[in-house]
Structure 1
Amino acid sequence: MDFELLVKTQDGLIAAGQCRDLGISADKVKHWVRERSWRVITRGVYLVDVHMLEAKPLTPRRLIRAAQLALGPHAVIVLESAAELLGIEGLRRGKQIHVSLEGPYARPRRLGNAVLVPHQLVLRSTDVMEIDGMRVTSAARTVADLMLKVRRYEAISALDHALNRALISEDELPILYQMMAGRRGVKSARKWLEQADGRAESPLETRARLRCADGGVPPDDLQVLIQDERGVVIARADMLWRRYRLIGEADGEAAHSMPEPIFRDRVRQNALAAAGFSVVRFTWTDTLDPDRIPRIVRAAMRGQSC
């Protein structure tokens, strides 16, 4: 593979070892770094065109790529970093990059990068896949590992999102159970598996549902089509309490902030009110308080009972 094609396939990055293989001397590399044509991203890994940063900053993906190049072809991207590459949402964004080195390659080394966190996970060949040339734990293995590491709301949010996006299937849940066997935290994580629901379309929906369940007011159903008296579908409810004709909606900040969505929401809200439904809306901030969402739901239930 020639230089330009290699760099293009690696998000504009190249490793020192790859430079040697291409006949680029260490002196040339040092010269380009001094001239600021190249930039050191991490030890032994370079961005070959610093002007790329103006159009494409150092995204998490590019930093993960740099970590993989620094540690070599046997490195496997794991945990939150694997979730980033797989598109699994619901986790706190952090600067750390998690990489596992298998077997004989898992020897202590100075990484020269404080955000690069090395692990030594026992991985089978079926636990590892490839994304654009990077070795990454599979979606199932990534979620299983995360459920043993992160807090409950993050763990279930990540699992819900993976299910909703068909990154893993309901049939694979027993496999996750097996992947966690004998590992620290497995007792709690296995309970969390039972609380997953792939119908949740966002981490916000998952968190709102869990707050309701924890507060003693779990919804009866999710993603329910609501019809008017003529049988015309007027809405799809994120959450529904049937007895109270109460709908719960998870509101992302951007979803309803523009004029057209606001207009559609008003039309929809009026149609639901005419059909006898009440709507309560939850934001991400609401989910940070354990009592706020259950309190909102109970107040709405009382109003619908009058």
Structure 2
Amino acid sequence: MTMHPTLLRLLQAQDGLVTSAQAEEHGFPTRTLRRRAQDDGWERVAPRVYLAGGREYGDRPRIRAAWLWAGDTGVVSGPAAAWWHGMLDRGPSEVTVTVPRRVGLRGYPGVRVRRRDLDPDDVTHAKGIRLTGHALTALETAITVPDGSAFLDRALQKHVPFHDVYLAYCRNMGARGFARAAALLTAAADRADSAAERILVTLLRAAGITGWTPGLPFQQWKIDIGFPAERIAIEIDSWAWHTDVQRFRTDRFKGNALVGAGWTLLRFTWHDLTNRPDYVIAQIRAALHTAAATA
């Protein structure tokens, strides 16, 4: 059976995918789809969704297939939406589709359904599918991927303004996982430095390390955390999205001045403090041990 040209164009626009309902509309009945699946290498990749023979089933068609299966009320969300927006280099193994609470869909292997009524401001269209907008996608992905703080940092640098992410958080307060989102967002706000310093202070106290002073004056600057007796300075690098050119230069001037004055300078990032605190404490202990041995 020869396919109608409009169906061929549809397959081209949909990465080689077609739903049984779309095929019926173009004079291609479901029994023919099944025959193609049996004889011509077509593949049923989701309930009522078929991939034309010879087409590769990579991340893009896999995510589109999940949305086609969910229908017009479905919204691709989480890491799958992040990949679609260009925020992740690789598509996730599981695609999440958010549907309204009233919709009774159940997922299938590789596709998870989340029931939630999304605000229209959190939904967009891109490359032929509905998905969460950049702001909500950044938040929902940050609370899902292993290094969420690093992911959110990159998203704020390249894809979405902080203000938009904050508004998306406000619209979705109380949603599952958003307590974690609140912590990440607080750290990404203008008070990110003080939040990071509080974490470092907590780590130092838990490790029983004493002799440090927060905001220790040095020339025209202040050291984030300083050990005056050992002349060790700890500086916490701001999130990249939050650092302008002037601040970057000032931090480097201060660092060079510290080293020139004979201080040992240790620099840590937010990611160091939250994802590898043992490394941070080990580096500080090593610096203190060296200072004591050379005193």
Mapped partners of 1:119, 1:40: distance in 2:
23
Does 1:35 find its partner at 2:28?
no
From 27, 30, 50, the equivalent of 1:26 is: 30
Mapped partners of 1:130, 1:15: distance in 2:
19
The SS at the match of 2:130 is: strand
Specify the alignment match of 2:131 in structure 1: 136
Mapped partners of 1:103, 1:183: distance in 2:
13
Q: Is the contact between residue 219 and residue 241 of structure 1 (CA under 8 Å) also seen in structure 2?
A: no
Q: Is the contact between residue 244 and residue 304 of structure 1 (CA under 8 Å) also seen in structure 2?
A: no
The SS at the match of 1:291 is: helix
The verdict on how the C-alpha distance between 1:225 and 1:42 changes in structure 2, with shifts beyond 3 A counting, is closer
Mapped partners of 1:82, 1:7: distance in 2:
21
Mapped partners of 1:242, 1:301: distance in 2:
21
Specify the alignment match of 1:257 in structure 2: none
Deviation at 1:44, TM superposition (A): 1.5
% identical aligned pairs = 21
Specify the alignment match of 2:84 in structure 1: 85
Q: Is the contact between residue 41 and residue 53 of structure 2 (CA under 8 Å) also seen in structure 1?
A: yes
Query: What does the per-residue CA deviation read over 1:191-238, in whole Å, with 9 as the maximum and x for residues that have no partner?
Result: 32121279xxxxxxxxxx9x9898565524566899xxxxxxxxx99x
Mapped partners of 2:29, 2:80: distance in 1:
32
The answer for unaligned runs of 5 or more in structure 1 is 199-208, 227-235, 248-275
From 92, 113, 116, the equivalent of 1:118 is: 113
Matched ranges for 1:1-306 at <5 A = 2-50=6-54, 52-53=55-56, 58-89=57-88, 94-102=92-100, 104=102, 106-109=103-106, 111=107, 113-146=108-141, 149-150=143-144, 154-165=147-158, 167-196=159-188, 217-221=234-238, 242-243=254-255, 289-296=276-283, 299=286
The letter for the 2-side match of 1:87 is G
Deviation at 1:64, TM superposition (A): 0.7
Query: What does the per-residue CA deviation read over 1:133-172, in whole Å, with 9 as the maximum and x for residues that have no partner?
Result: 100011112233345x537x6332232121111x221222
Query: What does the per-residue CA deviation read over 1:62-83, in whole Å, with 9 as the maximum and x for residues that have no partner?
Result: 2110111112122110112211
The letter for the 1-side match of 2:236 is P
Q: Is the contact between residue 33 and residue 39 of structure 1 (CA under 8 Å) also seen in structure 2?
A: yes
Mapped partners of 1:281, 1:188: distance in 2:
22
Query: What does the per-residue CA deviation read over 1:104-133, in whole Å, with 9 as the maximum and x for residues that have no partner?
Result: 4x1145x5x211111111112211100111
Mapped partners of 1:96, 1:191: distance in 2:
25
Give the TM-score normalised by the residue count of structure 1.
0.63
The verdict on how the C-alpha distance between 1:116 and 1:196 changes in structure 2, with shifts beyond 3 A counting, is same
The letter for the 2-side match of 1:31 is R
Mapped partners of 2:80, 2:201: distance in 1:
30
The verdict on how the C-alpha distance between 1:89 and 1:120 changes in structure 2, with shifts beyond 3 A counting, is same
Mapped partners of 2:49, 2:202: distance in 1:
47
The SS at the match of 2:236 is: coil
Higher relative contact order (CA 8 A, sep 6+): 1
The letter for the 2-side match of 1:97 is V
CA RMSD of aligned residues (A): 4.4
Mapped partners of 1:241, 1:212: distance in 2:
23
Kindly name which structure, 1 or 2, has the bigger radius of gyration based on alpha carbons. 2
Q: Is the contact between residue 80 and residue 146 of structure 1 (CA under 8 Å) also seen in structure 2?
A: yes
The answer for unaligned runs of 5 or more in structure 2 is 191-196, 205-233
The letter for the 2-side match of 1:107 is G
The verdict on how the C-alpha distance between 1:72 and 1:34 changes in structure 2, with shifts beyond 3 A counting, is same
The verdict on how the C-alpha distance between 1:155 and 1:213 changes in structure 2, with shifts beyond 3 A counting, is farther
Q: Is the contact between residue 236 and residue 268 of structure 2 (CA under 8 Å) also seen in structure 1?
A: no
The verdict on how the C-alpha distance between 1:35 and 1:190 changes in structure 2, with shifts beyond 3 A counting, is same
